[in-house]
Structure 1
Amino acid sequence: MRPYIDLLRREQDFRRVYTAQLISLGGDWFAIVPLLNLLARETGSGVYGSLVLAADTLLIALVSPYAGSIADRYDRRTILIAADVVSAVVVLALLLVRGPATAWIGVSVIGAIAVAKAFYQPASSAALPNLVSRADLPTANVLVGASWGTMLAVGAALGGLADAAFGPYTCFLIDGASFLLSAWLTVLARRPFQQAGTARGGRPQVWRDLRETGRYVRGDRRVATLLSVKSGVGLGNGTLALFPLLATGAYAVGPLGTGLLFAARGLGALIGPLITRRSAADEARLYPVMAAGMLGFGLCYIAFGLTPWFWAALLLVVVAHMGGGANWVLSSYGLQATVPDALRGRVFSADFMLATLAMALGQLVAGWASELVDVRVLASTFGGVTLLYGVLWLAATRGVRRTAAASGPSAVPGESG
């Protein structure tokens, strides 16, 4: 833990932005878990829960191309602050969700917050290499990746407990306050969030920017490989839409069980990046570890659908998302270390778009199929989808992996411009 503590102690602006992300992410899941429980309880169906999760991902995917252009054209600090403030206002509308007739409000609010997150995520990821030195980038990237897992675990667990103790509406108010606190911490950061001269302003030319990004990706097979790796785990995340149904139905553990399943997901996403940190800066190890994470995710969710014991289900979710978390963080670091700053926002928006499209597809299918198929069978099926994707990804990226292995232990190549 010493490298992480040293980095947080030395880099004040990184510490502020990192803490802002912790607070915002924790508050996010503190509200989503109670909302999922509320919708399942009020509607008696898993459809609205799956729509909430799909809205959280699908709208991010749809907005990402535009958001990536904004992240490369305008001040990234301002983008982060604006996204937090908008989310703080919009989340208060969840107080209006009071029954089946108003369930649509929950979906709409999460969709609106997802749009704000679509601007926040590429700006934040693109800014990271400017907030720390290049030598500190692998450590910072692991910390940021693990923060998502940490606050998912903490936020989901506390959200489940608070929902059981105080009800969902208190959780929604706390979420709004967390966004405002996150914005204030970002205001305090003084270090530039991008290189001088790259924030050129002007009206975003989305299609032109997409073509430029596409040409860049086609010209570098490493970048294409890194962009494609998150989608396998994204499809498997369709199982998340089944968590409330499994907790309240198959396992009969109630709302707290939903929180614990999401917390187990977060715990795995925290542990995975920490134990694979040394693979980040070694290109020869980077691709095999990402592949192992994807295959392990699929195998664990196949077993998840078969186990009758809740404690075993929690353990399998932790191990699955250790692989998923490592997969996400390592591929993000590879992109940060390879892509030029002037293109980084757009490449990360494409990365996020592909991953979130896969998640949205999986969650929409899960919500629809949960009305027709036993949820345990469905959970195992999504594990099988990720396993198949992993096998196909290994076959399609053989050349890139072979080149990396032949070069021996080495740092991931740096920016080319």
Structure 2
Amino acid sequence: MSARSVILLGSTGSIGTQAVDVISRNRERFTVRGLSAGGGDLGLLARQAAALQVEMVAVADPGAAPALRDALERAGVRPDVEVLVGPSAATELAGAGADVVLNGITGSVGLGPTVAALRAGSTLALANKESLVVGGPLVHAARVRADQIVPVDSEHSAIAQCLRGGARAEVRRLVLTASGGPFRGWTHDEVKSVTPQQALAHPTWSMGPVVTVNSSTLMNKGLELIEAHLLFDVPVEDITVVVHPQSVVHSMVEFVDGSTIAQASPPDMRLPIALGLSWPERVAEAASACDWTQAATWTFAPLDEEVFGAVRLAREAVAASATHPAVYNAANEECVAAFLAGRIGFLDIVSTVERVLGEHGGTARGGLGLADVLEAETWARARAQEILARR
């Protein structure tokens, strides 16, 4: 079996570094053609490029070219490596035609690379949920085959694995599990004074700051609900969210005969990353398995949507129009940045997103174009900033 060629987008982030670990332990199965990063850690990017012997390196920061070339030289990267720099660098790299493109970029800026990878015919291992949420119809239109997208989020990877247990017509509903974040069980009054430091202390997962804050507000689960709806073509009313603090059951599929199939493993993103790279095959020893010789208790509880309203807003966004999900995501990104900067309170995040969603006129679902998505995003960011400036 020949090695699959891989392009890693967001290689210096949480998903990217774990993907590098999986690949480094399975060099006979994967060869990396290119890496991309934002440009915040050029030293790490250069060391990855040297270790993986890549052909191409891309950085989003347009002013990083001299420093990147210097870092590559000091790391011993071969002098003929192709360097791409600027806002479109990751998109250009994604379209280079590798067997697999792992999109681990954070935020809606991942939409361009997602579309480019699909148009190039690559299998897209998708960890950048925002690109699907923001441009779902555009992403689906870019596919050249139906099975081209493989989810890397642990919840959606779990669902994809569970769906092997039955035909699509036999599915009654999807069940997304949520850890509940660091404020599970807190009242509305208790979460009013939450600080960025508290929000960044996730009890289970180690992730980047934006995703970690999204997990604390449950906005991440709202994005995942929209993503599940788009990935598996299941109506949002047939997707349930339950709180599972142990984060061992990553999601479930309930079938029409009353059977529920669950995927369980210790919380470790290397398993869904490995599956994204190798689908439909599995990578041996990608991560540790559950120890079934030890006593354990798993609990499940309904989501408190009175305190954490982000999932309700996600359902409303899907029902409203084709561009409301893009507005949902863009307004949230602005709010999270303001919260991390200490300019707004924790509860202001979801309340501001709700207000922006309510003011958005929407776009008809038929004939949605990239210009419609970008216009909706631009409006949402500007409107969120106006509202936040008055707080």
Q: TM-score, normalised by structure 2?
A: 0.32
Q: TM-score, normalised by structure 1?
A: 0.30
